[in-house]
A and B are shown apart, each in its own frame.
Chain A
Amino acid sequence: MAAKKMALIATKGTLDMAYPPFILASTAAALGWEVQIFFTFYGLQLLRKSLDDIKISPLANPAMPMPVPMPVMVQMLPGMESMATMMMKAKMKSKGVASLAELRDICLETDVKFVACQMTVDLFEFQTSEFIDKIEYGGAATFMKFAGESDVCLFI
């Protein structure tokens, strides 16, 4: 039986939205699936060599559980985003949740294919030297070729 295929589009570059593509991709690869992730717009941040700058913001995110109620005016203060990110990362670590870097490494080790959207790389004037090495560059047609053969296709 041919391996199942999953095609993902990763469009977000925040800590919370960075997890789903890497979790699904690493799991599918563990199940023997062939996986491709197309990174576009803010999702390109997930291809940077260091993922340390990926943050979560409490601002405009009313569903985010907070240790203490926090008015929006306070969430806007400088440093709040970094603090929320630090607290979230500490919580994740205490609950045994893998770091983004660890999950991304697992994806790469298990041959998940990463494709960076050339149009948005050019749009944001990213240099390929800012990204990890094992990626390809392509456009919508590249994605559609694999997506058309896939069993699962998700936009994240």
Chain B
Amino acid sequence: MEFSKEFDASGLACPLPIVKTKKALADMASGQVLRVIATDPGSVCDMAAFAEQTGNALLEQGSENSKFIFYLKKA
């Protein structure tokens, strides 16, 4: 999937992946896609909850090489 920005949250524990994802989205334009990489297993549920509550759509999520990948579309 195409994305305009990437944020690597590898190695960070709760709540940093979410808090810093929010920060990464701040300077993006509506409709742009942010790719987030995380290693915290809790981020799988957390990112979905973040997307639902903020209106930033979680377009796709998956895992590769024991990392979790998320694609968020800025609201």
Query: Please, how many residues of chain A have a CB less than 8 angstroms from a CB on the other chain?
Result: 14
Number of A-B contacts (CB under 8 A): 35
Which of A50-58, A95-103, A138-146 binds B? A95-103
- The answer to whether the Cβ of A17 comes within 8 Å of any Cβ in the partner chain is no
B11 touches A96 (CB 8 A): yes
B23-46 CB mask vs A (1 if < 8 Å, else 0) is: 000000000000000011000000
A96 to B43, CA, bound (A): 13
User: Using a CB-CB cutoff of 8 Å, which residues 1-59 of chain B contact chain A?
Assistant: 11-16, 18-19, 21-22, 39-40, 50, 53-54
Option from B14, B40, B50, B54 in Cβ contact (under 8 Å) with A23: B14
Contact residues on B (Cβ < 8 Å of other chain), bracket: 10 to 19
Segment of A6-14, A25-33, A67-75, A114-122 engaged in the interface with chain B: A25-33
Query: A23 with B15: in contact, given A31-B54, A32-B53 (CB under 8 Å)?
Result: yes
Q: A26-B19, A96-B16, A106-B19 are in contact. Are A31 and B53 (CB under 8 A)?
A: yes
Report the nearest A residue to B15, measured CB to CB.
Answer: A27
B50 closest partner in A (C-beta)? A31
Given contacts A96-B40, A106-B19, contact A30 B50 (CB under 8 A): yes
- Least CB distance, A35 to chain B, in whole angstroms: 12
Contact: A27 with B18, CB < 8 Å?
yes
Point out residues on B near A: beta carbons under 8 Å.
11-16, 18-19, 21-22, 39-40, 50, 53-54
